[in-house]
Every structure is written in C-alpha cells, then in structure tokens.
Amino acid sequence: MSTFQAPKGTYDLLPPDSAVYLAVREAMAAPLRRAGYGYVETPGFENVELFSRGVGESTDIVTKEMYAFTTKGGDNLALRPEGTASVLRAALEANLHRGGNLPVKLWYSGSYYRYEKPQAGRYRHFSQVGAEAIGAEDPVLDAELIVLAVDAHRSLGLSNVRLLLNSLGDKECRPVYRAALQDFLRGLDLDEDTRQRIEINPLRVLDDKRESVQAQLTGVPLIADHLCEACKAYHEQVREVLTAEGVAYTDDPKLVRGLDYYTRTTFEFVHEGLGSQSAVGGGGRYDGLSEMIGGPALPSVGWALGVDRTVLALRAEGVELPLPAMTDVYAVPLGEEARRALFTIVTALRRAGVAADFAYGGKGMKNAMKSANRSGARLALVAGERDLAEGVIQLKDLDSGDQAPVALDEIVTAVKERLA
C-alpha cells in the first residue's frame, strides 16, 4: 500500500469501473456529434475573475467552493468549477463567433473542482460532459439541446430521469420580479449571509436547500407570474417543441439552478433514486454571459451532464451497460522462440483491430492459462517449439475448451472469423 492516498473528496477511476465511465461519456457525446457539435478542450484553471463575473459573486461556487490560488508570478487563478465560462472564453478568444456561421456548437468533457462536503454523488473532483450553442436565440435550439440530453439518457437505458423546466425571464422582466422577490424575502427570518444574498441576487435564495429556508418560501412570488409577453411566448415555443418530440417535462416555477448567468430557458435532469443529490445534469440559456466577461452580445444556451451522478443512476436502476471486451485473444508462448513469434502475431492482431494481450514475464502454462481466463478473452493462442517447427499455432476456445492447430500465415484471418 502506498504512503499516499487520493485527496479527500476525490476518487481514482480504475478498471473495470473506468470502462463504465468511458461508456457513459461516449453515450453523452454521441448525440452531440451527430448534431454538429465540435469538440473543445480548455485548461483546468482560468483567471479567477472569469468565474466570479460569469458564475456570479453571490453563488456558493464562487464564495465557498472555488479552489483559488495565486501563482509565483502573481496571477490569480482558480481550478475550473464548471465548463460554460471557459468554453465561451475560448470561443471568444479564437473569434469563432465572427465567421458568420452561428450558432457555434461545441461539446466538451473533463474534470471540474469544487470544495464541497464529500458525500455520495457529491465530490470535490467530478466529471462532466457539456454542450454549448453560442450566438443564436431560438427556442428550437434550446429544445434541441434538451432533446440531445434526453437521447443520451435513453441510449444508456435510464428510465427514471425526470426533466424539470422553467423560464427565468430576461433583462426586461427580471428586474420587476427581482424587486418583488426581494420585498418578500426581506420579511423572512434568515441568517446574515442569506440576507446579503437577497441584495446581490435574490434568486439564489430559492435555490437554498436548507429546510429552515424552504419552509419559509410558501407564497413566494414566482417568476412565471412576472414574465413579459416575449418571454412567455419564447418559453411556450420551447415547451411545444419538446412535446412534439415526445419529451416529457415537469414545470418547476422555483427552478433557478446554481449559477447567476441563466436567462429564459432553465432546466434540470433529476433521478429520484439518488436521494438528496438527485440532479444528474442541467443547463439553460445564458444570453448575457458573453458581455459579462467582456465579449459582444451573444445569446447562447448549453448544458452539463454529470458522469459520476449518471453512473450512480445506472446502479440505482440496475442497468448494466454492454461493455467492449478489454481482451479478445490471449497469447501463451512456451519458450523463447515462441515468445518472439507470438508477440509478432499479437502485434498483427492489434493492427487488424483485435484486442489482444500476451503472457509476459515467462509464466508457465498453468499460470498463463489462468491469466487468459481472468482477462476475459474468448480465444487463446498457444505455441511451443514443436508447433513452430510444424508452422502452426494452437487456437483454443476458452469457453468450450476446443483446440485446433492453425497455420501461422492464416492465424489472423482465423481469429477474426472466430470472433465474428
């Protein structure tokens, strides 16, 4: 055992569990690639102000959870707590929005970091797949992203994921609602930190999970009652497209998500089998974020799906994903001459697209065959000096135990036929 352990609130991904995580990421990314989203990768850390401006100075993410530090050169940086601000910054820096082909459609996958109280489904280091459509204001685009996330969940075999939907209005109607909400919240019995939040961004109070706060929100003003006609019409179009595409949703008038940049369409995917940490992903429209970080007006929409939470959801439903075998063929050489000959064959199989492994370390026949069975391989290649003298390799079916000699120059073809 090592002297060191993974930091508190983090985890290592190791086989065979890591194969499930890879399969989940692929399932999330596949619908995006089919819809014209290109892959983007950003640094694991950014200027701290990118997040304080974009995510919001009043959010728990910025005030309590962000890993911020000062470099030896005096730069104030932070490990990325979410993906949208970084992706938008990268798109603006590369002038992707100036090509005239809007929206710019991007997807990403990576690790993110928040200093949270570790518990099941909530880690300090977590994995997400996200998508952003930058530079277009269109309710069909909002619906497209929601449909793509729904398709990802369905492709994984999940059946208990629910979609919560809301609209947060825009710069025309939000101020009126903000004032009404502040008037209501100021009359409640709240701690000093929450009272400060009322003045900075009162919507954050609606997202407070504490029972002592939620119990006082009965009768709180709802954004749905304060939407302007344009926002009402926009939201109704999103709902109509989702219904037409067979996507069920639940209207949640208190849904605000945990970030300050959202406008209009806001949504969250939840799974009841995960307890208090029920969210498996979510997102929404963020029409003003580009201007917040110094860019031009670029109405945009996006989401992020949690890989960790989705794996927990799969386990809660008892869904086992069909995973590709790590090894299809295992080579067992008997003697030095066979080691060289079989390794050449293993290399040829790999280049032909076959997953093949090798009994390294000079294992004897018994131990090598145990390794072959543990590897999950379907076939074993066994060869000794007599086999090579006859120009053959013994091809063994590890399920049935049947074994037959195959000519050296035919072994790759024979293996591919057997696996097919």
Q: Considering 294, 317, 340, which residue would you say is the last residue of a domain?
A: 317
Q: Between 1 and 241, whose confidence is greater?
A: 241
- Whether the pLDDT of residue 420 is over 60: the answer is yes
Same domain, 299 and 387: no
What was the pLDDT predicted at 138?
Answer: 97
pLDDT at 190: 87
pLDDT in tens, 242-287: 999 999 999 998 888 756 678 899 999 999 888 777 899 999 999 9
For residue 265, what are the β-bridge partners?
Answer: 167
Of 42, 120, 129, residue with least CA distance to 87: 42
pLDDT in the model for residue 187: 85
- Same domain, yes or no: 74 and 169: yes
Q: Which of 5-9, 53-57, 95-99 has the lowest mean pLDDT?
A: 53-57
Is there a single domain that holds both residue 28 and residue 158? yes
59 — pLDDT class (breaks 50, 70, 90): low
Q: Alpha-carbon torsion 273, 30, 34, 96, what sign? A: positive
**Residue found by looking up tokens 């029972």 in the block:** 211
Residues 114 and 256 in one domain: yes
- Give 55's pLDDT tier (boundaries 50, 70, 90): confident
For residue 293, being part of any structural domain is answered with yes
Give the residue with greater pLDDT, 214 vs 315. 315
Q: Structural domain of residue 250, as residue ranges? A: 17-173+227-317
Q: Examine residue 396 and state whether it is found in any structural domain, yes or no.
A: yes
Does one domain contain both 307 and 355? no
Q: Give the per-residue pLDDT at 60.
A: 65
How do residues 232-245 score in pLDDT, each as one tens digit?
Answer: 999 999 999 999 99
Q: Is 181's pLDDT higher than 90?
A: no
Residue 2 lies in a domain: no
Evaluate the omega torsion of the peptide bond into residue 324 and state whether it is cis, within 30 degrees of 0: no
Instruction: Tell me: do 50 and 165 sit in the same domain.
Output: yes
* 11-38: pLDDT as tens digits: 999 988 999 999 999 999 999 999 999 9
Q: Residue 47 belongs to a domain with what CATH number?
A: 3.30.930.10
Shared domain for 338 and 361, answered yes or no, is yes
CA angle, 327 then 333 then 336, to 5°: 140
* pLDDT the model gives residue 120: 76
Q: What pLDDT sits at residue 57? A: 63
Q: Do 152 and 292 share a structural domain?
A: yes
222 belongs to a structural domain: no
What would the pLDDT profile of 114-147 be if each residue is shown by its tens digit? 998 887 778 899 999 999 999 999 999 999 999 9
Q: Considering 317, 350, 367, which residue would you say is the last residue of a domain?
A: 317
pLDDT (0 to 100) of residue 300: 96
Mean pLDDT of 173-190: 87
Residue 171 predicted with pLDDT over 80: yes
Helix (H, G, I), strand (E, B) or coil at 292: helix
Give percent helix, percent strand, percent coil of the chain, each to the nearest 5.
40, 20, 40
In a domain, 182, yes or no: no
* Arithmetic mean of pLDDT over the chain: 91
Q: Could you tell me if 258 and 305 lie in one domain?
A: yes
- What is the arithmetic mean of pLDDT over 194-198? 84
Residue pair 303/279 in contact by the 8 Å Cβ criterion? no
Neighbours of 28 (CB within 10 A): 28
pLDDT at 58: 57
- Asked whether the predicted pLDDT for residue 393 surpasses 90, the reply is yes
- The number of folded domains in the chain is 2
CATH of the domain at 360: 3.40.50.800
What pLDDT does 150 receive? 98
Question: What integer pLDDT is reported at residue 259 of this predicted model?
Answer: 62
Question: pLDDT tens digits, residue range 341-381?
Answer: 999 999 999 999 999 999 998 788 889 899 888 988 999 99
* pLDDT at site 273: 84
Q: Could you say which of 317, 350, 369 is where a domain stops?
A: 317
Q: Are residues 92 and 165 in the same domain?
A: yes
Percent of the chain with pLDDT over 70: 97
Please state, in angstroms and rounded to a whole number, the distance separating the CA atoms of residues 292 and 394. Answer: 67
- Res 260: pLDDT: 64
Find the mean pLDDT for residues 45-74: 83
Q: Which residue has the higher pLDDT, 273 or 300?
A: 300
Q: For residue 302, which of 321, 281, 323, 320 has the smallest C-alpha distance?
A: 281
185 in a structural domain: no
Separation of CA 17 from chain center:
16
User: How sure is the predictor about 3, in pLDDT bands with cuts at 50, 70 and 90?
Assistant: confident
Place of tokens 């290592």: 12
SS3 for 331? strand
| CA pseudo-torsion sign 37, 302, 138, 150 | positive
Q: 169-173, 254-258, 297-301 — which is least confidently predicted?
A: 254-258
CA-based nearest residue to 313, from 9, 106, 20, 43: 20
The residue type found at 344 is T
Percent of the chain whose pLDDT exceeds 90: 69
Distance CA 83, CA 75 (A): 20
Q: Is 195 inside any structural domain?
A: no
Q: Are residues 42 and 119 in the same domain?
A: yes
Task: Please give the residue that has the higher pLDDT: either 348 or 217.
Answer: 348
**DSSP assignment of 101-166, as one string?**
-PSEEEEEEEEEE-----BTTB-SEEEEEEEEEES---HHHHHHHHHHHHHHHHHTT---EEEEEE
CA 390, 394, 400 angle in degrees (round to 5)?
Answer: 155
Same domain, 22 and 139: yes
Is 220 within a domain? no
For residues 70-79, average pLDDT: 95
Amino acid at position 243, single letter: T
